[in-house]
Amino acid sequence: QGCTQKYIVKNYFYYYLFKFSAALGEEIFYITFLPFTYWNIDHSVSRRMIIVWSIVMYIGQVSKDILKWPRPLSPPVVKLEVRTNAEYGMPSTHAMAATAISFSFFIATMNQYKYPLELGLVAAFAFSTLVCLSRLYTGMHTVLDVIGGALISAVLLVLLYPAWDTIDHLLLTSPFCPLFSIVVPLVLCYNYPKLDYYSPTRGDTTTILGAAAGATVGFWLNNQYAASAGPEKSVQPGFPLITSTMVFVLARFFVGILVVLLTRWLMKSVVLAVLGYRYKFPMGDLAARRRLEVEVPYKFVTYSCVGFTATVIVPLLHELLGLL
């Protein structure tokens, strides 16, 4: 569905501010910030953010397709986005992701690094608020959608916080972790709530769970066969502006993100080619790629490889290039 109204931008500051803020709740942010945290800040912080992010986003996406609350009508609102317009509105998963990532980052770092707690709290609040306001500005959600998403995420954070050290320990040490990390997300993806029409929520959920699955297997593998993944023993430089030069920080990031993007492109091409051969459709057939038997395996395999590459292959490459 396209935008139903034409519009004229009268305030470019707000327009670009909130368009940018909206991107902070999308794949472009996840695929850069979460790996950046793992490569340049702290493994344990990254692990906790990924655990919280994947659980919160799955619950949010499923809730949308169970509640089936419509997005705001256009007109009267003007919708500045096209892709997500086919999804339902309540809760706002942008609001959920922004709240989960910003506050889990704050909670995970406040006891490990010395910085003003007030500053961290304000930064987390400002980040989540900007993303929430962007959903109103772009016409994609109602105030209730945004408040509901932020509150659900806050409740889930409160419930997960007492257990996240235990969850993290089990995911690092349990011999069943790789099997659990792959099988459970796959079962959830294949049993996603069915809709009367196609919505990108199932594909987005598969992307998130696939990336988290691959990363979790990578965490386990690193802990079993490499240096301990614990914060006090892992090879990580801490906050980059304090204990490492910007040259190394940027080098780690650009080398890593290049490898991650190449992995995504390569695996997507290979998996789609195999599935196209299996189910007899050309790679450019969008309708075929939306079918359950195609969408779930192609996105899950692609993004699980992305998560695994970011946590295992890229750190090995950093070590080989002398970037640690």
Tell me the per-residue pLDDT of 215-230, one tens digit each, with 9 for 90 and over.
999 999 988 886 544 4
CA gap 265, 273 in Å, rounded: 12
CB of 74 within 8 A of CB of 4?
A: yes
pLDDT of amino acid 227: 52
Nearest one of 86, 88, 85, 84 to 62, comparing CA atoms: 88
**Is it the case that residue 158 has pLDDT exceeding 50?**
yes
pLDDT of amino acid 236: 44
- Domain assignment present for 3: no
Burial 204-214, CB ≥16 within 10 A → b, else e: bbbbbbbbbbb
184-209 pLDDT per residue, tens: 999 999 988 887 777 788 888 999 99
Supply the mean pLDDT for the chain: 84
CB of 310 within 8 A of CB of 38?
A: yes
91-138 pLDDT per residue, tens: 988 899 999 999 999 988 887 777 788 888 899 999 999 998 888 888
Nearest one of 324, 302, 303, 301 to 314, comparing CA atoms: 324
Domain that holds residue 309: 12-226+241-321
**Is it the case that residue 259 has pLDDT exceeding 90?**
yes
Q: pTM to 2 decimals? A: 0.84
**Is it the case that residue 238 has pLDDT exceeding 50?**
no
- Domain assignment present for 109: yes
- Domain assignment present for 195: yes
pLDDT of amino acid 199: 79
Host H or E run for residue 303: helix 292-308
Give the dihedral sign, CA 19/149/51/290: negative
- Domain assignment present for 198: yes
CA gap 77, 82 in Å, rounded: 14
Known catalytic membership, residue 141: yes
Known catalytic membership, residue 43: no
How many CB atoms are located within 10 Å of the residue 119 CB? 10
CB of 268 within 8 A of CB of 238?
A: no
Q: Which of 43, 141, 169, 318 is catalytic?
A: 141
The percentage of the chain sitting over the pLDDT mark of 70, rounded to a whole number, equals 91
How many residues make up the chain in this entry?
324
- Domain assignment present for 93: yes
Work out the angle between the directed axes of helices 93-110 and 117-137 (0-180°, nearest 10): 170
- Domain assignment present for 6: no
Give the dihedral sign, CA 164/166/168/170: negative
- Domain assignment present for 1: no
Q: How confident is the model at residue 74 (pLDDT cuts 50, 70, 90)?
A: confident
CA gap 184, 156 in Å, rounded: 19
Could you tell me which residues come within 8 angstroms of residue 66 by beta carbon, excluding any fewer than 6 positions away? 193
Q: How many domains does the chain have?
A: 1
Peptide bond preceding 91 in cis form (omega within 30 of 0): yes
CA gap 136, 80 in Å, rounded: 10
CB of 317 within 8 A of CB of 259?
A: yes
- Domain assignment present for 2: no
Mean pLDDT of 264-291: 86
40-64 pLDDT per residue, tens: 888 888 898 999 999 999 999 999 8
CA gap 68, 89 in Å, rounded: 7
Q: Which of 43, 94, 169, 318 is catalytic?
A: 94
